[in-house]
Structure 1
């Protein structure tokens, strides 16, 4: 069982990005991983924007990254790039906070015009932070992410692709992907 940190870089309290991540967190748990969710928007703004590396919240998050075997990074796309909130977090982490880690980058947005934001904006930063393996990421349209009775729901067309990238991430971490597929 691998330790997975699931990071939402959305500033919105009703975030589709966070919904998507929590949906995938459940799949990763069923595959045998221990998943810790992190909503960056809950961290103190003064610590992030002031780059207070000794703030208890920042040191606690750095510790979460250090303990994780894998990291799922989700972000809404704003102005053809990942969120400024996520950038603020990545800036206060140690330079090689992703060293030796497997990373799954995910993005959400209103238009397919933003589909390349993962590869052209986010992937270079994750690489510079020392990620050992960045699995192919996935972009999901906002309209494909909903909430029904408080439970995150992903449209069937998007769900299949997301399951594939999540299963690839899990397989790299050593999850029980085959066992889940047999029961799904």
Structure 2
């Protein structure tokens, strides 16, 4: 099976985006993939903002990206774009850091006005990093995400069904070693 790095671009300690990503990670693990994750907010701020690739934590992320077959990149949408925190990480990566990799973009946000941010803001950057395939992304509206008493994010069943359909297609493409979705 494939190795996957899940990247959370949320700056929040309590994050709906991170909660969605945890569900996606579990789904991919259940399908037999090896999944590791990184929250960009946990990286050291000064080296991240300075683009210091010699910092051990930054180096570990860059090396981790190089070592995996696929990536899941998740971000909240603020002001019709992905977070500046995620941008800081993407900016310090080598030009073709995503070469020969499949990438699944995911986003959360409060309004349907931001649904196209995946295609118009995030997808071009992922493509410019050389991704072999940027899978169909998915945007989850905040109103479909609630926090359980345990702190876990619960996804509305209808939104979860659509999300997991996208995740399953991504998983299939990685399992098959293909850069195409099974449908279309």
Partner residue of 1:62? 62
Counterpart contact for 1:24–1:166, Cα < 8 Å: yes
Q: SS where residue 66 of structure 1 aligns?
A: helix
Equivalent residues in 2 for 1:22-41, closer than 5 Å: 22-41=22-41
Counterpart contact for 1:6–1:21, Cα < 8 Å: yes
What is the CA distance between 1:100 and its match in structure 2?
Answer: 0.3
Partner residue of 1:82? 82
What is the CA distance between 1:90 and its match in structure 2?
Answer: 0.3
What is the CA distance between 1:168 and its match in structure 2?
Answer: 0.5
Partner residue of 1:132? 132
What is the CA distance between 1:54 and its match in structure 2?
Answer: 1.0
Return the alpha-carbon distance in structure 2 between the equivalents of residues 53 and 28 of structure 1: 29
What whole-Å deviation, never above 9, does each CA across 1:48-81 have from its counterpart, x for those lacking one? Answer: 1111121111110001101110100000001100
Q: SS where residue 82 of structure 2 aligns?
A: coil
Partner residue of 2:166? 165
TM-score, structure 2 normalization: 0.93
Return the alpha-carbon distance in structure 1 between the equivalents of residues 153 and 114 of structure 2: 22
Equivalenced residues, count: 175
Return the alpha-carbon distance in structure 2 between the equivalents of residues 157 and 42 of structure 1: 31
Return the alpha-carbon distance in structure 1 between the equivalents of residues 86 and 73 of structure 2: 9
What whole-Å deviation, never above 9, does each CA across 1:81-139 have from its counterpart, x for those lacking one? Answer: 00000000001111111000000000100000000000000000000000001110000
Q: SS where residue 108 of structure 2 aligns?
A: strand
Return the alpha-carbon distance in structure 2 between the equivalents of residues 33 and 151 of structure 1: 22
Return the alpha-carbon distance in structure 2 between the equivalents of residues 90 and 62 of structure 1: 10
Return the alpha-carbon distance in structure 1 between the equivalents of residues 169 and 87 of structure 2: 26
- Which deviates the most, 145-154 or 42-51? 145-154
What is the CA distance between 1:146 and its match in structure 2?
Answer: 2.3
Partner residue of 1:45? 45
